[in-house]
Amino acid sequence: DTGVSQNPRHKITKRGQNVTFRCDPISEHNRLYWYRQTLGQGPEFLTYFQNEAQLEKSRLLSDRFSAERPKGSFSTLEIQRTEQGDSAMYLCASSPTGSTQYFGPGTRLTVL
């Protein structure tokens, strides 16, 4: 399968714990995006990388959130001190040019 992959697909954690998600983009796509989707809503933009550079961050990305793309390939999204309001589907998308973004299957986070 050559699409965007995300791991884990599901994560259940207790409030206050740290979690980390991984995204592997489509090979040779230099742009990578993170979005968050809550039930009944469309995805909301979190952050964007071009190669290893993080070019834009949403106000949704509080200081408890950090994203990296150290070698310009895969990316990680870490949430520290999770809160119940962090429960959502976290989606990753990649793009060769930015104009068309291809999404992965998402990581469903549940914070108890």
> Using the rule CB under 8 A, is 104 a contact of other proteins?
yes
> Using the rule CB under 8 A, is 49 a contact of other proteins?
no
Q: Are 77 and 7 in contact (CB under 8 A)?
A: no
- CA–CA gap between residue 66 and residue 106 (Å, rounded): 17
The DSSP symbol for 8 reads -
User: Which member of 44, 51, 64, 78 binds other proteins (CB under 8 A)?
Assistant: 44
Binders in 61-90 for other proteins, by CB under 8 A: none
User: Which member of 2, 14, 27, 42 binds other proteins (CB under 8 A)?
Assistant: 42
> Using the rule CB under 8 A, is 29 a contact of other proteins?
no
CB of 81 vs other proteins, minimal distance in Å = 26
Cα separation of the two ends of the chain: 33
Which part of the chain contacts other proteins (CB under 8 A), choosing from 13-21, 39-47, 65-73, 78-86? 39-47
Torsion angle, alpha carbons of 24, 28, 30, 35, to 10: -30
